[in-house]
Structure 1
Amino acid sequence: MAVFRHFRHCTFWKLIVILVLATIMLQTWHMMMLFQLESKVRYKSSNGEIQNEVFPGKNDTSQGQRQETGGSIEYLMKKMWEKVRAANVFDQSGSYVVIDNILEGSNIEENRTQDVTIVTQCSSNHLHHLLTLSKIWNGPISVSVFTHDQDTQFAIYTIAYLIACVKNVSKQVLFHIAIPVQNLPIPFDLHDTTVSCNDRTDTVQSKSEHLNYGVEGVEYPNNLLRNIAIHAAKTSFVFIIDIDTLPSPDLRVSFNVFIKRHKQFIDSSSPIAFVVPSFEVNSKVDISSIHTKTDLKKVWSDSKVRPFYFELCWKCQRYTDYEQWGQLPDFDFLEIGYFVDWEDPWEPFFIAKKSDLPLYDERFRQYGFNRISQVCESYVKGFRFAVLNNAFLLHHEFKVPKNFHAKKEEEQNRNRQLFREFKKELKLKYPMSDRSC
């Protein structure tokens, strides 16, 4: 009987081991099937580089379109899909596949270190904002795109369209992609793509099936996306904003002039955040008509513009001191208006040196405390906060509670607890700092 029990015990554990190994093999096979699908139409050139038969060539206008980046939408989609299939880089948690520079604009200048890159992130249904943002900013932009499942086809198409057909995007924008491991892309037939640059640009404004935070079982990794875009920025300074906001039209040029006048800010060992006051614009107002601070103050006095998050979380923005900012003398150049002592829970948008900036804590996902955690750490690290006199940031439409997804409060409560732990960790990370938040 003892021998039988021993045999039965060994057999049980052997079965457990076999089941575990089988599970691992099935998961591995699943990933290989998704990421190693062969393209239906491709060949190798004489130098061994993979090309595509539908690539029309740099000057080919057979589709009635001018190719700004040297490739058709179909070719660019195939190029991106190959990168997606071959992706093998994951985030620190192992939860997301990360693809840097999935399609770099062909004319992006390499030697612009003394400049500012807009850093932003979004899901595919917000990529159309780049049409206006790239035109207003007219400089480097680094954007991380979150996609998953069947949404990947729309994301890849939209990026390809923007690079092939929009000159500002092809010259200025670096695209990156993050995909949840549990929701890998669903293969699609690239031959179904028949669009060309002759199509109206509103073809990229089709809304994807889900909101950023509204996909059941999929967490939107906003801080991971921000970090990916920061890493890829090639300039000394970065300006981290939401993709549905627009900076004042002359901000990039005037900031670069400002920095040349104040070279001490480049070499200073004391980090500084140049705060850009942010506003919300009534949907009935043409946001592109607001060119200057004078324009802004006029619609502000008519209550068609208000401070950002005015209705949702006024205390999160009020320390910018909008009243003082509005009363600053009207200079025709950019300068520091005043300094602000950071107070919890202030979360301003600001420009900062990339080398000074602490990265975002990637544990924060979905809604709540993702941006303020980084602002909080910047303060503890020793940042000073200087509000710029003429710069501003405009958000499309007023922010109101009814426009948020159903689980907003649940996510915010979860992240609030994480933020409490995060603040305790900062005391260990910066033991010599006399600041806390």
Structure 2
Amino acid sequence: MRLTIVRVMIGGLVSVLIILQLVHLSMISWLENKATSISNGRRSAGSGSLPGKHNHSSRDRTRSQHLEAKLDTTGSYKIYHSYMKSAALVKSKSQELPNSDVTLITQCSVNNLYHLVDLVVRWKGPLSVAVFSFGPDTSTFNNVLFTLRECFPAVKENVTFHLVQPITEITETLSSAKALSFTKLSCDTILNDIKDQSLESPQQKNYAHQVPYPSNVLRNVARSGALSRFIFVVDIDMVPSANLRTEFLHLSRSSIILQEETEYSKRTAFVVPAFEMRDDQHVPLNKERLLYDMSHYGHIRPFYIEDCSYCQNHTDYHRWENTKGTAGAVNIAYTVEWKPLWEPFFIGHRDVPLYDERFKQYGYNRISQVCEMNVAGYNFAVLDNAFLIHKGFKEKSSYHAHKLNENRKNKELFLHFQEELKVKYPDSSKRCQT
């Protein structure tokens, strides 16, 4: 009897949530239609291009023509999927079917987009990027994306952008079906302008206090744009080893257990050891150079070694450093067991569990996903010659003052999350208790 009552209550709550989401979407539609009317009125009154810039009034063909906002699972953010599609995606004839490639997944706020060029140069393949933006000047955001695509052909060819905004944001130009104007900024200064935040409000940065930064929402949104069989989720300020994508693809095609959609290939995370490097240093191309720089100069060290060593140590850096691989190739070096609070970066099947979108700001956002993967029965295999480099040392003094409070709040949520996994995976004997 009690079980029946509980089920009825849960069903009622789900119904209420659905109704609230529909109301949210209706409000978004009404507000944006209103904003579009105002915007059209302004344009009819006459609004010229920025001085000294080139205005492009023709519609960007890779821009979605009818953008519709969707809500995240918490109902706090609105999402514009495929806000600007890569040229390769537009040309693809099999957009509905996953292919054998690996898509690099990342997310950031507008002022961190200058990191994107380094990623594109190294990856040389499909990228899906979710950008968090808020503030009154949506046209600035459009101009930044347009300029990056025009100044860096590889960005236009390989990167698909998605946009995430707070539910309270009224976006003037997104719902307009008419041709949009884009202003091309200076190719010579665009990266420095983004870095210096001269194009955005000072509050437009990751983990801004005014609006909670929805890292897991952004990761899921970016993942939705991946059509490949494998995905590789990294932070925007990280750079992979040279040729990692092509070397992994060779492994997936030559290995019998990875050639097809086997249970092993679907349930294995291919861990890529992560390191951090002092600012303004050259990112090493291969493992040999990385080990040399680490031992001789000391400007490279394991990722999070100062702030959260247990978050990465389970990867077993000592064993990885002493593993001899084949030059110009990546292979599985060894496997490791999951351990509490581990948050490795990995290449995985596109069906790996999504990120829990309740986790925002700092703390437990990636840990929670790996925790669920353990309960779901995933294996963790470390690749021998692959690595990631984070640009800049992670130091405790570099975080904002509210980080500890955010960690405590997310830890409480994580305790509830652990209990929920017992219900979600009732037949699993694995747990991820802290």
SS in 2 for 1:107: helix
Give the deviation of 1:401 after TM superposition. Answer: 1.2
- Structural mapping, 1:150-189, within 5 Å: 150=136, 152-185=138-171
1:72-115 CA distances to partner (integer Å, 9 max, x unpaired)?
766568996986xx533222222211101111122345357111
User: Distance in 1 between the 2:425 and 2:102 partners?
Assistant: 28
* Aligned position for 1:19: none
SS in 2 for 1:249: coil
* Aligned position for 2:216: 223
SS in 2 for 1:100: strand
User: Distance in 1 between the 2:226 and 2:359 partners?
Assistant: 22
* Aligned position for 1:34: 35
* Aligned position for 1:305: 300
* Aligned position for 2:76: 95
SS in 1 for 2:356: coil
* Aligned position for 1:15: none
Bigger CA radius of gyration:
1
Q: State the superposition RMSD in angstroms.
A: 3.2
Out of 112, 120, 134, the residue aligned to residue 134 of structure 1 is: 120
Structure 2 residue identity aligned to 1:293: K
The verdict on how the C-alpha distance between 1:358 and 1:286 changes in structure 2, with shifts beyond 3 A counting, is same
User: Distance in 1 between the 2:418 and 2:372 partners?
Assistant: 8
Out of 319, 322, 336, the residue aligned to residue 340 of structure 1 is: 336
User: Distance in 1 between the 2:311 and 2:206 partners?
Assistant: 22
* Aligned position for 1:243: 236
Give the deviation of 1:232 after TM superposition. Answer: 1.2
The verdict on how the C-alpha distance between 1:129 and 1:248 changes in structure 2, with shifts beyond 3 A counting, is same
SS in 2 for 1:236: strand
User: Distance in 2 between the 1:213 and 1:34 partners?
Assistant: 28
User: Distance in 2 between the 1:37 and 1:335 partners?
Assistant: 57
Q: Which range is displaced more, 340-349 or 207-216?
A: 207-216
Structure 2 residue identity aligned to 1:163: R
Listed as ranges, the gaps of 5+ residues in structure 2 are 1-25, 175-179
The verdict on how the C-alpha distance between 1:381 and 1:191 changes in structure 2, with shifts beyond 3 A counting, is closer
Contact 1:143/1:173 (<8 A) preserved: yes
Structure 1 position 387 matched with structure 2 position 382: yes
User: Distance in 1 between the 2:272 and 2:168 partners?
Assistant: 38
Structure 1 position 234 matched with structure 2 position 227: yes
SS in 2 for 1:142: strand
The verdict on how the C-alpha distance between 1:408 and 1:74 changes in structure 2, with shifts beyond 3 A counting, is farther
User: Distance in 2 between the 1:75 and 1:41 partners?
Assistant: 18
The verdict on how the C-alpha distance between 1:157 and 1:383 changes in structure 2, with shifts beyond 3 A counting, is same
> Kindly, what percent of the aligned residue pairs are identical?
36
Structure 1 position 106 matched with structure 2 position 101: no
1:309-365 CA distances to partner (integer Å, 9 max, x unpaired)?
01110011100100000000142121101000000011000000102x001111111
Out of 322, 325, 340, the residue aligned to residue 317 of structure 2 is: 322
The verdict on how the C-alpha distance between 1:172 and 1:27 changes in structure 2, with shifts beyond 3 A counting, is closer
Contact 1:73/1:161 (<8 A) preserved: no
Q: Which range is displaced more, 206-215 or 419-428?
A: 206-215
Out of 203, 214, 223, the residue aligned to residue 208 of structure 2 is: 214
Out of 275, 278, 282, the residue aligned to residue 279 of structure 1 is: 275
1:241-266 CA distances to partner (integer Å, 9 max, x unpaired)?
00100000110000000001114134
Listed as ranges, the gaps of 5+ residues in structure 1 are 1-24, 44-53, 55-62, 66-71
The verdict on how the C-alpha distance between 1:198 and 1:334 changes in structure 2, with shifts beyond 3 A counting, is closer
* Aligned position for 1:16: none
User: Distance in 2 between the 1:153 and 1:403 partners?
Assistant: 31
The verdict on how the C-alpha distance between 1:274 and 1:29 changes in structure 2, with shifts beyond 3 A counting, is closer
Structure 1 residue identity aligned to 2:406: E
The verdict on how the C-alpha distance between 1:135 and 1:427 changes in structure 2, with shifts beyond 3 A counting, is same
* Aligned position for 1:261: 254
* Aligned position for 1:428: 423
Out of 348, 355, 363, the residue aligned to residue 352 of structure 1 is: 348
Give the deviation of 1:160 after TM superposition. Answer: 1.1
- Structural mapping, 1:368-383, within 5 Å: 368-383=363-378
SS in 1 for 2:426: coil
Give the deviation of 1:156 after TM superposition. Answer: 2.0
1:89-142 CA distances to partner (integer Å, 9 max, x unpaired)?
222222211101111122345357111000111100111111111011000000
The verdict on how the C-alpha distance between 1:432 and 1:385 changes in structure 2, with shifts beyond 3 A counting, is same
SS in 1 for 2:354: coil
Contact 1:77/1:156 (<8 A) preserved: no
Give the deviation of 1:155 after TM superposition. Answer: 2.5
Structure 1 position 292 matched with structure 2 position 293: no
Structure 2 residue identity aligned to 1:373: S
Structure 1 position 416 matched with structure 2 position 411: yes
User: Distance in 2 between the 1:227 and 1:130 partners?
Assistant: 18
Contact 1:247/1:393 (<8 A) preserved: yes
Contact 1:145/1:176 (<8 A) preserved: yes
The verdict on how the C-alpha distance between 1:29 and 1:64 changes in structure 2, with shifts beyond 3 A counting, is closer
Contact 2:35/2:170 (<8 A) preserved: yes
Contact 1:280/1:397 (<8 A) preserved: yes
Structure 2 residue identity aligned to 1:335: N
SS in 1 for 2:103: strand
Q: Which range is displaced more, 207-216 or 408-417?
A: 207-216
Across the two proteins, how many residue pairs are aligned to each other? Answer: 385
Q: Which range is displaced more, 161-170 or 194-203?
A: 194-203
TM-score by structure 2 length? 0.81
The verdict on how the C-alpha distance between 1:28 and 1:120 changes in structure 2, with shifts beyond 3 A counting, is closer
User: Distance in 2 between the 1:126 and 1:170 partners?
Assistant: 18
SS in 1 for 2:106: strand
User: Distance in 1 between the 2:104 and 2:240 partners?
Assistant: 10
Out of 383, 399, 403, the residue aligned to residue 404 of structure 1 is: 399
* Aligned position for 2:18: none
